[in-house]
């Protein structure tokens, strides 16, 4: 139960860019074989101060956790939408890494403008929008959350 709460908190913090989190992304491709994390800074945002700096600078990450039925791979990306449809979304991070997510009925989409968020749908997300997306899966990643921050 604790792991579920912790993972939910980490995912929520990554999506909304809220305060600090307990994740330390090393920038390496591998740590111990069960956790992989990669982070890259956005150009021009090095002067950002305060809580959440790590998350604002997050380009993409992959976290593997142990669940009750085995290992679960969680993918996070912060970037620009390069393509979007009713069933998928592709996001490109600042370091040019791209991730495609399957969109299904369980995918939560939120629009964030002027510091406020509201429930939305994938048809409101447009190519060129800035988004943060999370999902689970290995060969096929299913989007769990997409937060559209616009341009």
Digit-by-digit pLDDT tens for the chain (151 residues) are 445 544 555 554 444 443 333 232 223 333 333 333 444 444 444 444 555 666 678 899 999 999 899 999 999 999 999 999 999 999 999 999 999 999 999 999 999 877 788 999 999 999 999 999 999 999 999 999 999 987 6
Cβ neighbours for 105, distance < 8 A, ≥ 6 positions apart: none
Which has the closest alpha carbon to 121: 133, 103, 109, 129? Answer: 109
Collapsed DSSP state (helix, strand, coil) of residue 103: coil
């Amino acid at each position: 139960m604790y792991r579920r709460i912790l993972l939910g908190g980490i995912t929520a913090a990554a999506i909304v860019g809220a305060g600090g989190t307990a994740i330390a992304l090393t920038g390496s491709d591998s740590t111990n074989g069960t956790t992989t994390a990669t982070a890259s800074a956005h150009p021009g945002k090095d002067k950002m101060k305060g809580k959440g700096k790590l998350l604002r600078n997050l380009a993409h990450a992959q976290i593997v956790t142990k669940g009750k039925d085995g290992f679960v791979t969680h993918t996070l990306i912060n970037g620009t939408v390069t393509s979007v449809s009713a069933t998928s979304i592709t996001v490109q991070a600042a370091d040019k890494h791209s991730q495609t997510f399957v969109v299904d009925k369980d995918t939560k989409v939120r629009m964030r403008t002027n510091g406020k968020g509201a429930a939305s749908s994938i048809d409101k997300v447009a190519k060129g929008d800035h988004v943060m997306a999370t999902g689970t899966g290995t060969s096929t990643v299913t989007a769990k959350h997409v937060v559209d921050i616009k341009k």
